[in-house]
């Protein structure tokens, strides 16, 4: 299953003056709420059980620096924690930003 939310990458939405990326939690802070995180590699990547499909093999790679994520099984992917929240809760970017405190 592929989950795509083009709006997440839409620069128009991202540049909305009501969107305050500096208020978002760091990827490390946010992802720590979902998983007991292993130590990242030198690039900031860790592998955890994917929350987008029934995973038992830590198929989801998440980056604790950028917030990017990618699942090699269900192909879920995104560029930051906003993308993650949108896809996890199946919500629009406005709501995701509100949940994360970015607006
Ligand atoms: Zn997956």
Cα(first)–Cα(last) distance of the chain, in Å? 30
| Rounded distance from Cα 17 to ligand 1 centre (Å) | 33
Task: Look up the CATH number of the domain holding residue 40.
Answer: 3.90.580.10
Determine the distance separating the centroid of ligand 1 and the alpha carbon of 18, expressed in angstroms: 31
Instruction: Assess if residue 73 is contained within a domain.
Output: yes
Answer yes or no: is 3 within a domain. Answer: no
CA of 48 to the centre of ligand 1 (A): 10
- What's the CA-to-centroid distance between 95 and ligand 1, angstroms? 23
d(C-alpha 84, C-alpha 60), whole Å = 12
Across the range 81-99, mean pLDDT stands at 92
Note the pLDDT of residue 18.
Answer: 62
Q: Is residue 15 part of a domain?
A: no
Query: Is 2 domain-assigned?
Result: no
- Residue 5 — very low, low, confident or very high, per pLDDT cuts 50/70/90? very low
CA 66–ligand 1 middle distance (angstroms): 19
Q: How many domains does the chain have?
A: 1
Q: Is residue 14 part of a domain?
A: no
**pLDDT tens profile 7-44:** 445 555 556 656 677 788 999 999 999 999 999 999 99
Ligand 1 centroid to residue 44 C-alpha, Å: 19
In a domain, 78, yes or no: yes
16 located within any domain:
no
* Residue 60 placed within a domain: yes
pLDDT in tens, 46-88: 999 999 999 999 999 999 999 999 999 999 999 999 999 999 9
Could you tell me the residue range of the domain that residue 44 belongs to? 25-100
Q: Which one, of 98, 87, 72, 89, lies nearest residue 6 by Cα?
A: 87
Distance 67 CA to ligand 1 centre (A): 16
């Amino acid at each position: 299953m592929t989950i795509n939310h083009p709006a997440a990458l839409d620069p128009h939405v991202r540049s909305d003056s009501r969107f305050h990326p500096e208020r978002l939690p760091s990827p490390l802070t946010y992802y720590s709420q979902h998983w007991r995180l292993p130590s990242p590699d030198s690039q900031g990547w860790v592998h955890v059980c994917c929350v987008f499909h029934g995973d038992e093999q830590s198929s989801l790679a998440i980056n604790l620096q950028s917030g990017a994520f990618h699942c090699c099984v269900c192909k879920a992917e995104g560029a930051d924690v906003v993308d993650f929240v949108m896809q996890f809760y199946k919500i629009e970017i406005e709501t995701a930003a509100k949940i994360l405190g970015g607006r």
